[in-house]
Structure 1
Amino acid sequence: MDVEVVGRALSTLPEDDDHPYRTGPWRPQTVERKVDDCPVIGELPTDLDGVYLRNTENPVHPSMSVYHPFDGDGMVHVVGFRDGKAFYNNRFVRTDGFLAEQAAGHALWAGLAEDPAKSPTQTGWGARGRMKDASSTDIVVHNGVALSSFYQCGDLYRLDPRTADTLGKAGWNGRFPSDVGVSAHPKVDEHTGELLFFNYATTAPFMHYGVVDTQDELVHYVDIPLPGPRLPHDMAFTEHYAILNDLPLFWEPAALAAGKYAARFHPEMPSRFAVIPRRGQTSDIMWFEADPTYVLHWVNAYEDGDEIVLDGFFQDNPEPPIGGGTLYQRMFRFLDNDLMGPRLHRWRLNLRTGQATEQRMTDTVSEFGMINGTHGGRRHRYTYAATALPGWFLFNGLVKHDLDTGAEERFDLEEGVFASETAMAPRLGSTSEDDGYLVTIVSDMNRDLSECLVFDAKNLADGPIARVQLPERVSSGTHSTWAPGSAIPGWGTADHAASAIGV
């Protein structure tokens, strides 16, 4: 493998580090690499054309006291496919916080599990108002540019979708909401080219919803009234509507007033959904109530007559008890899907009657569901989700849910091998919803390597049809996306240039 090293980060992590979310499958990278022609086991199909991008929490400095796995700096991994070949690039997202800590040589911000007073001179972002914006949660591609984002709200960092080089911040012609930022999970409608987003804060107004057009102009931005600070993580949209949520797991008001961020589940309160026309005003919102739960991720939504069909992962136990296990398992129990029990669930929101009905779609515990992006906001049949290793935030398999028939098809990874969020890549000239490929990066602890696996989406259980060899074992991470080559300016002609960190 011909590997070019294009940058290195200064890391001060201890050589004898024993934190389970900075070692093993979560061992971070410090080197940025470029591979123009990756070795492949099997044969890559020539009608797989585009890029798979995956974001990663990738710490380079010890935390001030308690490291939470969502504190790590953003690093984006790109595996590109064209003409039956694959290339690879990985780059740190050069956030303001990352650059400041590289210059200082140590952490400057308190993390999610730390006392905010530990970073009294630093300002953070949005909902918490004191955390570093690591831009390490999500990634989408809009108007030919990748946008990385942070789940506690922050800037959207613009990246080259081929090289992952940082291009600056989204500005939206001076109208970016710098006072609050943007949450992770903005949505791109592949039919209109619009970007739909939300943000949230600890002071009123507690949530906004906005739309950015194909010219990178913020064309719509309205208040979504909430009774207090909330913890929304995701949103959904249909052809004509956006769906926001007010769920009964949020920061305790008394603790928040004292500067403490303790999330609690309130089962006596309903789940609430705000349905707003995509360019509607606050006064146009219709509110729906349903059974109490927390939904970390929505799959999709679409219109069916008078109803909006909304699919997501209903948590049976949004606030797991501390219980047994190791100290880290107890501390990070909110990352344990086996305890929280997320299962695919369907809500039907009737716009005529104002009533919500709901049903469980499967008994299988899974999360991080992806669909064929061309069905975003339109009717979908298939969801491709991850199964998890009990006790840990690690994906040990893939499951294809058929929501029309209830059938499920699975692929379980070998013990010690862990997947990433799996994107669906429609093949060139695809003719049906599952006519394409599933793409994921795995971290193989048994062989100390990473591969990008490619599956036939119609035949997941048959296993990967190709394995792209990567130059280093990649740390586990959060979200991914797929962008077809047709969505990337200059695709197939540009040199995959790189820029070093320079430290």
Structure 2
Amino acid sequence: MSINIVNRFQSGIRPSAHPYLNGAWTPCTEEVDADELEVIGEIPKDLSGVYIRNTENPLHEAIGVYHPFDGDGMLHMMSFEGGRASYRNRFVRTEGFRAEQEAGRALWTGIAGNPSKSEREGWGARGRMKDSSSTDVVVFGGEALSTFYMCGEGYRLDPYTLEDHGRAAWVPPEGISAHPKVDPRTGELLFFNYGKKAPYMHYGVVGPDRKLRHMTPIPLPGPRLPHDMAFTENYSILIDLPLFWKEELLEAGIHSAAYHEDLPTRFAVVPRYGSENEIRRFEAAPTYVLHWTNAWEEGNEIVIDGYFQEDPDPAPIRMPGIDPRFGKLLANIDYHSFKPKLHRWRLNLDTGGVREERLHDELVEFGTINQHYACRPNRYVYSATAVPGMFLFAGLKKHDLETGETTSLSFGEGRVGSEAPFAPRVGGEREDDGYIVSFVTDTNEDRSECIIVDARDIAAGPVARVILPHRISSGTHVVWASHDEIRQQRAMA
């Protein structure tokens, strides 16, 4: 193993029993380049591309209660080519990260904190928060683009070296939310944002040349908290969900979310380059949806698959040895509390009606598909299962939407993974002809690794395990991009 430690950072976090600062969530404090990695098994020679994961990784003691989604963004990258692998990790050099490094302490409160205690103005739909850019990552215009769930800048990095390329120039003043979408057919990026000022949401399109081509308001009745969007070949779908801040408390500066079960889930369907007056609205059963897996047009319907939460506002979790203040925080990010299940919505463009159906009854979320099937019917979804009571991924489930069958992979006792993208096999022809890739942290061995699983038979377990040079923290979202896709995007940019 060839290791170059590029940077080491001093952590100012005091020892505590906080469940999201220990165990698999222990922050990583070094940036490393590593090649000639130890491999258990054999890396497939027809695996060609980069796997990048975003991770919440705090360096400073929080002002108030720390929430795991507050941590500074750190990207971890594995590059595969010809049966070999290399690894890089870097903090995302956001404005907030640089300011706190200079100050030597936290300057902003997080999601569970009081905004008035932030020392400076900040970013985000709530305001006075740090844009940590630690939620999502996509590959767009031949670069890695990291984003923040509460709306902020788009930070650009080289997908191979993770060299800082600065902020994306096209991002509007209101910022962008996590989960911008890259259309693999056109190279366009679709995004949305939300906030506390009317019209409360905007939607936009960025061309493959990284220039803003279109932006339009998506008016909402008030401040909302959407997390994801979907798109088809001709339409973009934005969402108004009945879980949002209590309006009566917002005037006092208190950001307390509540579930309004008497309100419907509302879809706004707009042509890709459509305007406000072209929006079609659809109403469905109330729920909250964190993530969609795919959407497509089928006759006179738009079909959307995602994860329907059966209990969007769960009761606090009480765990022995854990501070009761963490109870609601724990529940809000625990599958076994909010109960997400794979679900389908059909929006009828002729009648305005909505039909819904449950696709599976397992508690799963963070699904991925073969992105070559974006905007058209996909047969397979690869979802993550979770450790009860914690935001930790215990394994994977492969859903066959044609037969209804599922197959499973457990990462093993004391081993937790990440959202796992599908990586098409070079020359592959079938939808599941490829690999599932995931970082796994093994708390038994005190190390991390990258596993490669044959997507046609996930139950067989990894065909290769690449041992990382250090243990990494748990995190949220990931992306896979082939070397050919990156070259093609760079040619268009």
**Please, what TM-score do these two structures have when normalized by structure 1?**
0.95
Q: Which residue of 1 aligns with 2:400?
A: 402
Instruction: Look up the SS of the partner of 1:431 in the other structure.
Output: coil
Q: What CA distance in whole angstroms lies between the structure 2 residues aligned with 1:292 and 1:422?
A: 28
Paired residue type of 2:378: H
Q: Which residue of 1 aligns with 2:26?
A: 27
CA contact (8 A) 2:31 2:88 kept: yes
Residues 321-400 of structure 1 correspond to what in structure 2 (within 5 A)? 321-322=315-316, 324-325=318-319, 326=322, 327=324, 328-400=326-398
Residues 8-27 of structure 1 correspond to what in structure 2 (within 5 A)? 8-14=8-14, 16-27=15-26
Residues 492-503 of structure 1 correspond to what in structure 2 (within 5 A)? none
The structure 1 residue matched to 2:241, chosen from 241, 247, 250, is: 247
Instruction: Look up the SS of the partner of 1:100 in the other structure.
Output: helix
Deviations 1:410-467 (A, max 9, x none): 0012111001000100011110111100000001001111110000000000100000
Deviations 1:365-387 (A, max 9, x none): 10000011111222211110100
1:45 is aligned to 2:44: yes
Q: Which residue of 2 aligns with 1:116?
A: 115
Q: What CA distance in whole angstroms lies between the structure 2 residues aligned with 1:247 and 1:389?
A: 26
Instruction: Look up the SS of the partner of 2:60 in the other structure.
Output: coil
Deviations 1:66-111 (A, max 9, x none): 1111110000000110010000000000000001101110000011
Q: Which residue of 2 aligns with 1:451?
A: 449
Instruction: Look up the SS of the partner of 1:348 in the other structure.
Output: strand
Residues 61-72 of structure 1 correspond to what in structure 2 (within 5 A)? 61-72=60-71
Q: What CA distance in whole angstroms lies between the structure 1 residues aligned with 2:69 and 2:328?
A: 16
CA contact (8 A) 1:430 1:436 kept: yes
CA contact (8 A) 1:125 1:153 kept: yes
Q: CA deviation at 1:330?
A: 3.8
Q: What CA distance in whole angstroms lies between the structure 1 residues aligned with 2:372 and 2:144?
A: 18
Paired residue type of 1:145: E
CA contact (8 A) 2:368 2:383 kept: yes
Q: What CA distance in whole angstroms lies between the structure 2 residues aligned with 1:220 and 1:126?
A: 22
Deviations 1:265-308 (A, max 9, x none): 01100000011110111111110000000000111101111001
Instruction: Look up the SS of the partner of 1:364 in the other structure.
Output: coil
Q: Which residue of 1 aligns with 2:157?
A: 159
Q: Which residue of 2 aligns with 1:497?
A: none
Q: What CA distance in whole angstroms lies between the structure 2 residues aligned with 1:163 and 1:432?
A: 32
1:6 is aligned to 2:6: yes
Instruction: Look up the SS of the partner of 2:262 in the other structure.
Output: coil
Residues 187-266 of structure 1 correspond to what in structure 2 (within 5 A)? 187-266=181-260
Instruction: Look up the SS of the partner of 2:332 in the other structure.
Output: helix
CA contact (8 A) 2:450 2:467 kept: yes
Deviating more after overlay: 121-130 vs 357-366: 121-130
Q: What CA distance in whole angstroms lies between the structure 2 residues aligned with 1:400 and 1:323?
A: 29
Q: Which residue of 2 aligns with 1:184?
A: 178
Corresponding pairs, count: 485
CA contact (8 A) 1:143 1:487 kept: no
Paired residue type of 1:202: K
Unaligned runs of 5+ in 2: none
Deviations 1:131-151 (A, max 9, x none): 000000000001100100000
Q: CA deviation at 1:490?
A: 10
Q: What CA distance in whole angstroms lies between the structure 1 residues aligned with 2:376 and 2:338?
A: 29
Q: CA deviation at 1:20?
A: 1.3
1:284 is aligned to 2:282: no
Identity %: 55
Q: CA deviation at 1:322?
A: 2.3
CA contact (8 A) 1:187 1:195 kept: yes
Q: Which residue of 2 aligns with 1:305?
A: 299
Paired residue type of 2:422: M
Q: Which residue of 2 aligns with 1:495?
A: none
Q: What CA distance in whole angstroms lies between the structure 2 residues aligned with 1:224 and 1:149?
A: 21
CA contact (8 A) 1:319 1:334 kept: yes
RMSD of aligned residue pairs (Cα, Å): 1.2
Q: CA deviation at 1:18?
A: 2.4
The structure 1 residue matched to 2:482, chosen from 471, 477, 484, is: 484
Q: What CA distance in whole angstroms lies between the structure 1 residues aligned with 2:159 and 2:70?
A: 24
Paired residue type of 1:107: A
Q: CA deviation at 1:165?
A: 1.9
Unaligned runs of 5+ in 1: 492-503
Q: What CA distance in whole angstroms lies between the structure 1 residues aligned with 2:327 and 2:160?
A: 37
CA contact (8 A) 2:418 2:476 kept: yes
Instruction: Look up the SS of the partner of 1:97 in the other structure.
Output: helix
- 1:397/1:28 Cα in 2 relative to 1: closer, same or farther (>3 Å)? same
CA contact (8 A) 1:45 1:84 kept: yes
CA contact (8 A) 2:386 2:395 kept: yes
The structure 1 residue matched to 2:463, chosen from 438, 462, 465, is: 465
CA contact (8 A) 1:10 1:105 kept: no
Q: What CA distance in whole angstroms lies between the structure 2 residues aligned with 1:480 and 1:227?
A: 32
Q: What CA distance in whole angstroms lies between the structure 2 residues aligned with 1:38 and 1:243?
A: 42
**Please, what TM-score do these two structures have when normalized by structure 2?**
0.97
Q: CA deviation at 1:10?
A: 2.9
Q: CA deviation at 1:17?
A: 3.2
Q: What CA distance in whole angstroms lies between the structure 2 residues aligned with 1:113 and 1:469?
A: 35
Instruction: Look up the SS of the partner of 2:233 in the other structure.
Output: coil
Paired residue type of 1:382: Y
CA contact (8 A) 2:386 2:393 kept: yes
Paired residue type of 1:266: H
Q: What CA distance in whole angstroms lies between the structure 2 residues aligned with 1:426 and 1:217?
A: 29
The structure 2 residue matched to 1:424, chosen from 410, 422, 440, is: 422
Q: What CA distance in whole angstroms lies between the structure 2 residues aligned with 1:483 and 1:44?
A: 17
Q: What CA distance in whole angstroms lies between the structure 2 residues aligned with 1:273 and 1:201?
A: 18
Q: What CA distance in whole angstroms lies between the structure 2 residues aligned with 1:395 and 1:216?
A: 34
Instruction: Look up the SS of the partner of 1:103 in the other structure.
Output: helix
